[in-house]
Structures are given as structure tokens and as C-alpha cells.
Amino acid sequence: MLSSVSSRLLVAPRAVAPLLRGATTAQRSMASSARVRFVQQQPSGLLGVSYRSFASSSAAACSNKDCCNLHCPKCDFVMNSFCPFCPSCDSLQPEKPRDCPTDYFCLLNQPHKYSIDTTGAEQCYRKLQNRLHPDKVAHIEGADPEVAAADSAMVNDAIKVLRSPLKRAEHLLQLETGVKADDDEADGMGNMDPSVLMEMLEYNEEIDDAEGDEKEMLKLTQENDDRIKECEDELTRLCDEARDWEAVETEVNRLRFLVRIDDRLKGTVNKM
């Protein structure tokens, strides 16, 4: 039976569910793996204009080592990361388990990299929100509107995080290392790299000295914008090439302070 299931999976994955009825756990697992290979090997667009075309590869083969194995209750497809709709049968999934980590990269079909396909992420976001709209959910048999609303809120959080260079870096660091951004700890400067701390103190002194001088404040604002760009470029190198997470943590702390300085500078300039 298993060889029959696997061979058919590579031809018609949507017809798999009936074949899996009565299969053992091992057979279901092997069949799901074969289905994953089918999904990943398809050229863009083959699976149709639906959520699965955006989410199939990320949900089936997320790189996050802490992902959980979730089974679609309708077709038993195995997902290593939560997504609202099954990449195989397209059914709306039950509420995400509390102990399953939230991976915004996988949710919006992005790899675990700092440099992402922003256009692709936005497209996936809009597609998901369209499908999770209450008017659409109302026509899905057995769908729980509260679960769909929670999914919609999670998708909103995901795009906000991925749009923000700082939040995106913090989320990636947490997924890869377990280090969670703690603004209170950062405010206390407890784990701040001394060189970064000194740099930030000097920047703040420059701002203090320039108070009331609009021209100088604009100059400092431009300089800080340049520093932020340099920091983002360094994060791209560290996250996507070197995969040096200790250095990434230092650079994330630096970017966090630069963003706060940016807020202070632009807030002061706007009041002039």
C-alpha cells in the first residue's frame, strides 16, 4: 500500500487523503514526506492561485529547529510550522497550539534570513487576510470565526515584524538562538557590548550639544540614517552569510539604540 501511496503522491497529491485511511502512523509519515517533495518540486503557479502556492514550501520544510509537527485534521498533511490553511488540502486549520512557536518568516513564506522578499511577503499577507476575512470564513463549513480572527491578528503581527528592520532582526535572532528582545533589559544596559554603549553615549552627547540648532540637528539626523543603513547591511551579512548569532545580538542591540536616537532626533526636529 505504501509504495502505491508514494507513487500516487508524486502524481496527484490532492488525491492522497482517501489512500491514507487505515494506514499506519509510519505509512502516513512517509506519505506526507513524499507529498512534501511533490509540493517543493513544483514550479511557481502549478498549485493554482491559492494560499498553498505561497505557503506550501515554508509550512512543509521550515528551517526552524524548534518547529512543531502539526497534522492537518482533514488530510493528515504534516506541517513543521503553523499556517492558517493546509498547504495540501487548503482547509482552514484549528487554533495554533500554545506551545508551538510563532514563526513569522514561515507564516509569510520567507526563509530564515534578514534580507527577505518584501514583495512576496506583502502578497502572502494580502492573500491570507483576504481568505481570513469574516465574510469569506462564513462560507467555510465548520470554520470557527474566532480562530480565523486570531489567525488574522497573527498575520497582521507577522507583516509588522517583517516590515521593520529592527523587529525582523529581533525575531530572527529569537528563532535561531532563543534570545528574546527585552526592551527593559536594553534600557538598563545590562548586557550591552561596551563599545556599542560608548558609541550610543557619544551620539546622545552630540544631540545634547546640538539642541536648538536646526541645521546641526538635520545633519545629525542624516548621519544617523547612514549609521542605520550600515547596521542593516551588517546584519544582512551576519545573518545570511556568516550566521554569527553572537555578533548578530550585538548588532541588534546597536540597531535598537540607533532607532531610538532616530526617534529622538526626528521628534526634536519636528518641534522646531
Domain boundary (115, 132, 163) is at 163
Are 115 and 39 found together in one domain?
A: yes
Are 195 and 156 found together in one domain?
A: no
Are 63 and 144 found together in one domain?
A: yes
pLDDT the model gives residue 192: 74
Count of structural domains, the chain: 2
Question: Stretch 67-88: mean pLDDT, rounded?
Answer: 90
Which CATH number goes with the domain that contains 12?
A: 1.10.287.110
Q: How far is CA 133 from the centre of its chain?
A: 21
Question: Stretch 183-190: mean pLDDT, rounded?
Answer: 50
Q: Is 140 in contact with 92 (CB distance < 8 Å)?
A: yes
Are 55 and 188 found together in one domain?
A: no
Q: Looking at the predicted structure, is the pLDDT value of residue 187 above 80?
A: no
Are 34 and 141 found together in one domain?
A: yes
- CA dihedral (264, 266, 271, 272) in degrees, to 10, reads 110
Q: DSSP letter string over 116-168?
A: --HHHHHHHHHHHHHHTSHHHHTTSTT--HHHHHHHHHHHHHHHHHHHSHHHH
Kindly report, residue by residue over 190-232, the tens digit of the pLDDT. 567 888 889 889 999 999 999 989 999 999 999 999 999 999 9
pLDDT the model gives residue 69: 84
Q: Looking at the predicted structure, is the pLDDT value of residue 44 above 80?
A: no
Domain boundary (163, 196, 221) is at 163
Q: Is residue 73 part of a domain?
A: yes
Q: Is residue 245 part of a domain?
A: yes
Look at the chain and count its residues.
272
Better-predicted residue by pLDDT, 46 or 31: 31
Give percent above pLDDT 90 in the chain: 61
CA distance 118 to 226: 21
Q: Is residue 120 part of a domain?
A: yes
Domain boundary (135, 163, 191) is at 163
Give percent above pLDDT 70 in the chain: 72
Which CATH number goes with the domain that contains 206?
A: 1.20.1280.20
Q: Which three cell numbers stand for residue 104?
A: 513569522
Q: Is residue 174 part of a domain?
A: no
Better-predicted residue by pLDDT, 23 or 173: 173
Are 145 and 29 found together in one domain?
A: yes
Are 99 and 230 found together in one domain?
A: no
Q: Is residue 170 part of a domain?
A: no
Are 128 and 79 found together in one domain?
A: yes
How large is the C-alpha radius of gyration of the chain? 23
pLDDT the model gives residue 189: 56
Banded model confidence at residue 113, pLDDT cuts 50, 70, 90? very high
Alpha-carbon dihedral sign for residues 187, 189, 192, 195: positive
pLDDT the model gives residue 43: 33
Q: Is residue 175 part of a domain?
A: no
Q: Which three cell numbers stand for residue 69?
A: 509537527
Q: Looking at the predicted structure, is the pLDDT value of residue 100 above 70?
A: yes
pLDDT the model gives residue 80: 86
Q: Is 268 in contact with 217 (CB distance < 8 Å)?
A: yes
Question: Stretch 9-28: mean pLDDT, rounded?
Answer: 42
Q: Is 8 in contact with 35 (CB distance < 8 Å)?
A: no
DSSP state of 48: -
pLDDT the model gives residue 58: 44
Question: Stretch 240-268: mean pLDDT, rounded?
Answer: 95
Q: Is residue 15 part of a domain?
A: yes
Are 199 and 81 found together in one domain?
A: no
Nearest to 36 by CA among 84, 69, 74, 73: 69
- With b for 16 or more beta-carbon neighbours within 10 A and e for fewer, the 114-153 pattern comes to bbbeeeebeebbebbeebbeeeebeeeeeeeeebbeebbe
Alpha-carbon dihedral sign for residues 155, 156, 162, 163: positive
Mean pLDDT of the chain: 80
Q: Give 233's contacts (C-beta < 8 A, 6+ positions apart).
A: none
Are 155 and 189 found together in one domain?
A: no
Kindly report, residue by residue over 255-270, the tens digit of the pLDDT. 999 999 999 999 988 8
CA distance 55 to 110: 9
**Domain residue limits at 60:** 2-163
Are 149 and 213 found together in one domain?
A: no
Q: Give 57's contacts (C-beta < 8 A, 6+ positions apart).
A: 39, 40, 109
Nearest to 85 by CA among 61, 110, 56: 56
CA distance 113 to 126: 21
Are 127 and 206 found together in one domain?
A: no
Kindly report, residue by residue over 139-182, the tens digit of the pLDDT. 999 999 999 999 999 999 999 999 999 999 999 999 999 988 76
Q: Is residue 49 part of a domain?
A: yes
